Amino acid sequence: MEHRTATLAEADRLMTVCNSCRYCEGLCAVFPAMEMRRSFADADLNYLANLCHNCSACYHDCQFAPPHEFAVNVPKVLAEVRNDSYAHYAWPAALQPMFRRNGLWIGLICATLVALFLFGTFLWNGAGAVFSAQTTPENFYALMPHNVMVALFGPAFLFAILAIYMGGRAFWRDISARDMEDGAHQSGIDYARAGHDAGRLTYLDGGGDGCMNADEQTSDNRKLWHHLTFYGFLLCFASTSTGTLYHYLLGREAPYPWWDLPVVLGTVGGVGLVVGTAGLLRAKLRQYHDVRDDTRFGMDAAFIAMLFGTGLTGLLLLFLRETPLMGILLAVHLGVVMTLFLTAPYGKFVHGIYRYLALARFARERRGEMVPQDA
């Protein structure tokens, strides 16, 4: 079969080997999904790749892994396909090259935006106001009025949503184009199942024992770190949303006391983000070398760094909001958050979207396959 890239051709070769063996079918979702196919088009491979968590259990279990002449390294090749797929489906197409040297791009954008916020804050308010705003009743809003924040972040947020939606839609259309001949249709239960599997990271456990690390010992830490990061992120998002509702619905303006919902959610979420991302980075560095896609380390690291930065600057802002550092921290925090929003469609953030969609497709395929067996 013709493939768009050499990596996809290699993935096809591996899936043909694996489909003749099937010993790994109990480990995760990739292999049962593979077994429902006898040939692997680019869309199939992108789908399978986005089901893979790179836990590397199948690599350690494989009798055909290197140095065997069949050289089967599924986690590494699927990582490459997966990372390529983020760029392939990104919208608009003109921004797809951002996935090349992704770490550099995101680093530059972040530095630029932080500088702009700092520069703007000083220019707008003057240095004296920046270092004394913590004493005013308006606090943050003395430096940047709420409406200005909304005017800056609202469009950035909406653009990110649009771009992520367009990318996700292209991925979804591609992977669901195949006719499975089983008569099943995508339904609500599949999306619910996918939510369950994505939320619990059902398949990120090496078949039960956790991921293999550099020392070939299994551990479940990646799952823990990812949970802390993901749910920390959600709590931070909930904190911001609650704050927005307070502002517009209740007329209660920031800053809020330490016991109030936006602060509690933000604090717990921020701690989750900082601890979780630090753990993820450590796990990434300790991961078994042979199964990593080292060419994309920058993309992974940039996303982890942005989440870590969001959590850390947010927490610092909370704890130091009554000191003269507040003004500078606010500008840095806003610059980091703006970068997170703007670059979300062009970095590792999209992995969650594609993973969820792939799981939704898998839930429907598995349900469809089970129909004739139950009958």
Per CB under 8 A, the list member of 3, 5, 9, 19 interacting with other proteins is 19
Q: Least distance in Å: CB of 288 to other proteins?
A: 13
Report how far apart, in Å, the C-alpha atoms of 367 and of each of 36, 89, 112, 189, 193 are.
12, 27, 48, 10, 11
Q: Does 68 bind other proteins (CB under 8 A)?
A: yes
| Window 119 to 158, contacts with other proteins (CB under 8 A) | none
Options 27-35, 102-110, 111-119, 302-310: segment touching other proteins (CB under 8 A): 27-35
Per CB under 8 A, the list member of 2, 6, 20, 179 interacting with other proteins is 20
- Chain centre to alpha carbon of residue 93: 20
| Window 297 to 356, contacts with other proteins (CB under 8 A) | none
Q: Contact, 117 vs 140, CB < 8 A?
A: no
Backbone angles phi, psi at 199, to 5 degrees: -65, -35
Q: Does 33 bind other proteins (CB under 8 A)?
A: no
Q: Does 62 bind other proteins (CB under 8 A)?
A: yes
Q: Does 372 bind other proteins (CB under 8 A)?
A: no
Q: 321: which residues sit within 8 A by CB, 6+ positions away?
A: 134, 139, 140, 255, 329
**Total Cβ atoms within 10 A of residue 96:** 16
Q: Least distance in Å: CB of 215 to other proteins?
A: 11
Q: Least distance in Å: CB of 62 to other proteins?
A: 7
> Where do the DSSP E strands lie in 54-209?
none
Nearest to 51 by CA among 165, 160, 175, 170: 175
Per CB under 8 A, the list member of 3, 5, 43, 65 interacting with other proteins is 65
Options 24-32, 41-49, 172-180, 251-259: segment touching other proteins (CB under 8 A): 24-32
Task: Tokens for 288, please give them.
Answer: 């078994």
What is the SS3 assignment for 246?
helix
Options 20-28, 239-247, 249-257, 326-334: segment touching other proteins (CB under 8 A): 20-28
Per CB under 8 A, the list member of 8, 11, 14, 27 interacting with other proteins is 27
What is the SS3 assignment for 44?
helix
Q: Residues interacting with other proteins, by CB under 8 A?
A: 16-17, 19-27, 32, 35, 38, 57-58, 60-65, 67-70, 207-209
